[in-house]
Amino acid sequence: MTKYSVGIDFGTLSGRALLADVSNGCEIACVTYEYPHGVMSDSCGGKKLPMDWALQDPRDYLEVIVKTVPALLEKTKVNPKDIIGIGIDFTACTPLPVYSDGTPLCFTEKWKDEPHAYVKLWKHHASQPQADRLNETAEKTGQEWLSTYGGKISSEWMIPKLMQILDECPELYSDMDYFVESGDWVVWQLTGNLFRNTCAAGYKSIWSSKDGYPSKEFFRALDARLEDATETKLSGKLAPVGTCAGGLAEKMAALTGLAEGTPVAVMNVDAHVSVPAFGITEPGHMLAIVGTSTCHMLVDREYRPVNGVCGIVEDGILPGMYGYEAGQSCVGDHFAWFVENCLPGEYRDEAKSRGISPHVLLTEKAELLKPGQSGLVALDWWNGNRSILVDTRLSGLMIGMTLATKPEEMYRALIEATAYGTREIIENYRKSGVGVSAFTASGGIPNKNPMLCQIYSDVLNMPIRVVSSTQGPALGAAIFGAVAAGKAAGGYDDIYSAGEKMGATEGKTYYPNPENARIYDKLFAEYEKLHDCFGRTDDMMKRLRAIAQENR
Amino acid sequence: MTKYSVGIDFGTLSGRALLADVSNGCEIACVTYEYPHGVMSDSCGGKKLPMDWALQDPRDYLEVIVKTVPALLEKTKVNPKDIIGIGIDFTACTPLPVYSDGTPLCFTEKWKDEPHAYVKLWKHHASQPQADRLNETAEKTGQEWLSTYGGKISSEWMIPKLMQILDECPELYSDMDYFVESGDWVVWQLTGNLFRNTCAAGYKSIWSSKDGYPSKEFFRALDARLEDATETKLSGKLAPVGTCAGGLAEKMAALTGLAEGTPVAVMNVDAHVSVPAFGITEPGHMLAIVGTSTCHMLVDREYRPVNGVCGIVEDGILPGMYGYEAGQSCVGDHFAWFVENCLPGEYRDEAKSRGISPHVLLTEKAELLKPGQSGLVALDWWNGNRSILVDTRLSGLMIGMTLATKPEEMYRALIEATAYGTREIIENYRKSGVGVSAFTASGGIPNKNPMLCQIYSDVLNMPIRVVSSTQGPALGAAIFGAVAAGKAAGGYDDIYSAGEKMGATEGKTYYPNPENARIYDKLFAEYEKLHDCFGRTDDMMKRLRAIAQENR
């Protein structure tokens, strides 16, 4: 008898439910549902929002569940009894204020017009002043955990977002019982139980299994009213990923058509859940999810401090391992910027008349170039640098242009720059004693652009495995669902065996061309010089940014 | 009775004759004639040309004279007897091999199929190996004159071009009697007398009034067969600019309609002749001719060694003064490159639908920006750097791009970069004790683009006078024609009084905005850091160029 697991992936604009065969991870069906409210960045509850806000309505998450799961059952005619587990992955940090019974404050008459009552999406950046205060205080008071996060806490994370509510709407702060990740809230809605998963808590809420949250003294130093935050607004049981949060509640079973009591795993973060989804369970195997930006995940048995990472969290990716996360803040965004701002009319016309995307056209032309022949090198910092410099004030640079430089040469230079940025991250790990021995890339860009994959392979001088499945997060959630179910129910006892059986590994491997690798070694040496000069020695980019801000 | 003077300007693609009123320099009429053979860079005499060749046919120069001058007379009905002088300006170094009677070798049956028998246009760059050899030898043997030319002789100049003939076609080298500037040859055709003008000789043939040509020993070190070059192929009387080369010969009078015996001035170089043409006769007043590249002329009473200039020549621009020439190898070419390679389709469409040039559109948009607001700085080295680094292997750089960077911001950054490049040249002069107290710009670009002029004024923190006449060279030639005629004939005794009366000074003056100047001081400091880093300290651009050449 075939057993199945459901993974529900909550993205930025939509959610999707995937039904997977527990024995081999094969996707049986997938149903997507767009959030009716999408991302609210202009207005919310009839109020205009200031710059840098990004909210969501938690009703949309419930809608995803009741629209996609029944459709999945309808489509596949699978017997709900054969569905042995449910997993959830979510964007993070995407928290919302709720009452002790789980009711979001924005569902109440009292708060429905208050933007702070809604979900603060991961890319809500309006908590930057709070993040700045937090970082300043942490540095001044010598917080040890700071080094675990590359020396800086992002405005996207839990505590700055909580601080912003306290600063701007203290009544709402007082009124809420919990401030929770939306993914944890969804699992709570499904099971009736509140668990904070250690992946999100570790990467986004400055929690660690060894030291818990930052101390009361630290919170007091931020604001006296925050002193007891971890015992109140941030309280709740913590559970490692793969833990079963409970069985599906009666009401949700009725709404979805799934069987009451079906085990539900605690939430995972979308990027991190992709590691076992792509069959990666061994230390030193990096997964790069290449999209508008790139997220690099890696596990290791040891904890080793590494400069400039996004976070190092015990059990954060796979239980029993330290999960290392790093990132590049601008990858696909570079290529999109180029097409939007630098694509000559004749290129645009050619792409249009041939019915291909400008990216395909530029890649066609760039593919004819040999490494190094353009004489160009760029820094991939149009959107700052996440790892390993952790500085959003850095900006772009390109060197080597001549009157003969063509658009495809600059386009290729930008692709190469992102490859050098990845190599910089890997070499930084290696210098810190964290091995990187294998590399898997996933996402739309590597699947669509073989030239990019070959460049990455040549620049890193490593084979690049590209997995063709683009359902990494949803499949990962389904895998954790199968782990929550356990072996006795037809699932798995641990994520290692589950990932091995259910992980999607189909795809293509690119091998380095030794001649190209030799040329790229030379070019990378130049990239590194620029990287260290403008990222470390000379503050020119920051001075230019300051001049720009003064004169806007 | 009004007296007139004719100036004939020989450009790269065409020649033009201008009739000027000797009393005030007013342009009475101007007739242009395009060279039938244009620039031969692909083939010549039925032979395919290698890369970097650029030839002309001297028949075209004679055609210009016999087509334009009669048309000028026809058009204006001026009595030829009232035309008191003729002046010629020419591109340089643009030499050709001739026999002792002035017949170009390319006019003969024997040599008509040999490309080396034709005119080597200034931008013929195929003598680079010879220039390299010359520079190497000059450095090794410690030639003092090297410092007069910024430490490097260009492949565009006379001796490398002569060496190339010797290397590649020694029979033709032996056969020719002289290797002369085409402008000197034209004056020879007009008057029957061969004079080498000291302007071209000084700037392009390593001649100085103090030391003459380089020594026999030096020429022998280049090639034993060159030992007597200055007594043979390069021999001929030298004459300062403004000298009368003789009266118009009978045959040429018949062909042109001008009076036999009309005084003809020795040739001037086109850029240098513009100095008195724009009424500049005082030390410290820089003239910048802004075109695809920019040429900066300046006179001073003293000789002061200055690093990185193109040449410092006694009597080279105005008699009795030292003429200083510097240059930027890429100005209008930057903007043209940008429009050709980086102009988005929608911008192109908008320009087209409004019937304006893309440059006008980009300028419209760039004008709305405040200095510094883009956060961008560029180095203006897409075509290398002529002054003050004298290095063609340097390349472009842009820093400060973000995902919000727009095309007009990059376009403006390129314009600003050329202004910084000019400031670098001026500050270099000042450091060397050569004062620069006034600035005049001429050429199509400053006349068409007020934003550029304001940027230059703000960056230099000096008033920028822009003269509207675009006939600088032709008018300058006419002014020298009036000097050749002399005061007794109704002309002038010296170029100072002639320039004062006949110089074109109409135009517009741009004054620095103190607030903008303050911002540009900051940005120029960043430019200088990049300039010194990549132009002096770090050879990255040269390494990248070497990598590019290896992989082409």
Around Cβ A361, how many Cβ atoms within 10 Å?
21
**Interval B163-167 mean pLDDT:** 98
Name the burial class of residue A407, with classes exposed (0-12), middle (13-18) and buried (19+) by CB atoms within 10 angstroms of its CB: buried
CB contact under 8 A, A344 and B349: no
Distance (Å, rounded) from C-alpha A261 to C-alpha A281?
A: 29
Query: What is the per-residue pLDDT for B541?
Result: 97
Q: Please, are residues B260 and B249 in contact by the beta-carbon 8 Å criterion?
A: yes
What number of helices (H) and strands (E) belong to chain B? 19, 24
Tokens of A21: 């065969």
The mean of the pLDDT values for chain A is 96
Strands (DSSP E) found in A170-216: 178-181, 195-197
Q: CA dist B456 to A200, B209, B329, B453, B512, Å? A: 54, 35, 17, 5, 8
Please tell me whether residue B397 adopts helix, strand or coil conformation: strand
What is the structure's pLDDT at A535?
Answer: 97
Chain B residues touching A375 at Cβ < 8 A: 395, 544-545, 547-548
pLDDT score, position A147: 87
CB contact under 8 A, B540 and A529: yes
Quote the pLDDT of residue A1. Answer: 84
Is the pLDDT reported for residue A234 higher than 90?
yes
DSSP count for chain A of H helices, then E strands? 19, 24
Secondary structure (3-state) at A63: helix
Query: Are A74 and A66 contacting, i.e. CB atoms less than 8 angstroms apart?
Result: no
Structure confidence by residue, pLDDT tens digits, A266-303: 999 999 999 999 999 999 999 999 998 999 999 999 99
Task: Answer yes or no: is pLDDT of B235 > 90.
Answer: yes
The DSSP output letter for A40 is: B
- In angstroms, the Cα distances linking A105 to A41, A180, A234, A237, B400 are 19, 12, 16, 21, 43
- pLDDT-derived band at B530 (thresholds 50, 70, 90) equals very high
Q: Is the pLDDT of residue B150 over 90?
A: no
CB contact under 8 A, A541 and B373: no
Structure tokens at B50: 């290698």
pLDDT given at position A45: 79
Mean pLDDT value across residues B212-222: 97
- Arithmetic mean of pLDDT, B205-223: 96
Measured over the CA atoms of residue A492, residue A493, residue A495 and residue A496, the dihedral's sign is: negative
Binned at pLDDT 50, 70 and 90, residue B46 comes out as: confident
Rounded Cα distance, A106 and B509, in Å:
63
pLDDT at A332 over 90: yes
Mean pLDDT within A476-487: 97
Q: Look at residue A469 in the predicted model and tell me its pLDDT.
A: 87
Residues of A whose CB is below 8 A from B543: 522, 526
pLDDT tens-digit map of B414-470:
999 999 999 999 999 999 999 999 999 999 899 999 999 999 999 999 999 999 888
Cross-chain residue pair B400–A533, CB shorter than 8 Å: no
Q: Alpha helices, DSSP H only, in A216-293?
A: 216-222, 250-256, 270-277
The Cα–Cα gap between B421 and B427 comes to 10
Share of chain A above pLDDT 90, in %: 92
Overall average pLDDT of the B496-509 stretch: 94
Beta carbons of A341 and B382 less than 8 Å apart:
no
Radius of gyration of chain B (CA): 23
Smallest CA–CA separation between B537 and chain A, in Å? 13
Cβ <8 Å between A375 and B519: no
- The per-residue pLDDT for B52 is 85
**B405/A382 touch (CB, cutoff 8 Å), yes or no:** yes
Q: How far is the C-alpha of A114 from the C-alpha of A8, rounded, in Å?
A: 29
List, for residues B276-305, the tens digit of each pLDDT value.
999 999 999 999 999 989 999 999 999 999
Mutate to test the interface with B, among A341, A411, A541 (most CBs of B within 10 A): A341
What b/e string do you get for A307-326 counting C-beta neighbours within 10 Å, with b at 16 or more?
Answer: ebbbbbbbbbbbbebbbbbb
Please tell me which residue of chain A has the smallest CA distance to B519: A547
pLDDT of residue A524 exceeding 90: yes
DSSP 8-state symbol, B208: B
CB contact under 8 Å between A544 and B344, yes or no, is no
CA B489 to chain CA centroid, nearest Å: 31
Does A390 score more than 90 pLDDT? no
Q: Taking 90 as the threshold, does the pLDDT of residue B239 lie above it?
A: yes
Residue B126 per-residue DSSP state: T
List chain A residues with CB under 8 Å of B407: 341-342
Mutate to test the interface with B, among A381, A382, A403 (most CBs of B within 10 A): A403
| Higher local confidence (pLDDT), A155 or B355 | B355
What is the CA B220 to chain-centroid distance, rounded?
A: 30
Q: Which two tokens stand for residue A100?
A: 């002790």
In angstroms, the CA B52 to CA B240 distance is 32
Burial A257-279 (b: 16+ CB within 10 A, else e): ebeeebbbbbbbbbbbbbbbbbb
Q: How confident is the model at residue A89 (pLDDT cuts 50, 70, 90)?
A: very high
- The sheet with strand B311-314 has its strands ordered as B311-314, B322-328, B294-300, B285-290, B438-442, B464-467, B507-510
* Structure confidence at residue A46 (pLDDT): 84
My answer on whether omega of the bond before B30 falls inside 30° of 0, hence cis, is no
**The total number of residues written for chain B in this structure:** 552
pLDDT higher than threshold 90 for residue A51: no
Half-sphere exposure of A509 (CA within 13 A, CB side): 10
- Contacts B371 to A, Cβ<8 Å: 551
C-alpha–C-alpha distance, residues A9 and B110, integer Å: 84
Residue in this structure with the two tokens 């999408």, named with its chain if needed: A38
- Which secondary-structure segment (H or E) carries A326? strand A322-328
- Report pLDDT for A152: 87
List C-alpha distances in Å: A158 to A12, A185, A229, B332. 17, 14, 12, 52
Helix axes B270-277, B472-485, angle to 10 degrees: 70
Burial of A477 (0-12, 13-18, 19+ CB in 10 A): buried
Nearest to A383 among B402, B538, B540 (CB): B402
Question: How does pLDDT run across B362-419, given as a tens digit for each residue?
Answer: 999 999 999 999 999 999 999 999 999 988 889 999 999 999 999 999 999 999 999 9
CA distance A205 to chain B (A): 29
Least Cα separation, residue B395 to chain A (angstroms): 5
pLDDT at A516: 98
Instruction: State how far the Cα of A36 lies from the Cα of B428, in Å rounded to an integer.
Output: 64
Average pLDDT over residues B504-524: 97
pLDDT tens per residue, range A398-436? 999 999 999 999 999 999 999 999 999 999 999 999 999
Answer whether A455's CB lies under 8 Å from A444's CB: no
Which residue is it, tokens 């940014």?
Answer: A545
Smallest CA–CA separation between A160 and chain B, in Å?
A: 25
DSSP B298-363: EEESS----TT-SEEEETSSSTTSEEEEEEES-SHHHHHHHHHHH-BHHHHHHHHHHT--HHHHHH
HSE-CB of A10 using CA atoms within 13 angstroms: 33
- Please judge whether A407 and B341 are an interchain contact, meaning their C-beta atoms are less than 8 angstroms apart: yes
Mean pLDDT of chain B: 96
* C-beta atoms of B375 and A383 within 8 A: no
| Interface contact B540-A399, CB threshold 8 A | yes
**What residue type is B317 in one-letter code?**
I
- Global confidence as pTM: 0.91
- A129-179 pLDDT, tens digit per residue, is 999 999 999 999 999 999 899 888 999 999 999 999 999 999 999 999 999
3-state percent breakdown (helix, strand, coil) of chain A, nearest 5:
45, 20, 35
SS (H, E, C) A365-398: HHHCCCCCCCCCEEECCECEECCCCCECCCCEEE
What pLDDT sits at residue A471?
85
Q: At what angle do helices B407-431 and B450-460 cross, to 10 degrees?
A: 40
Q: For position A86, what pLDDT does the model report?
A: 98
Q: What is the DSSP letter of B37?
A: T
> How far is it, in rounded angstroms, from Cα B369 to Cα B378?
16
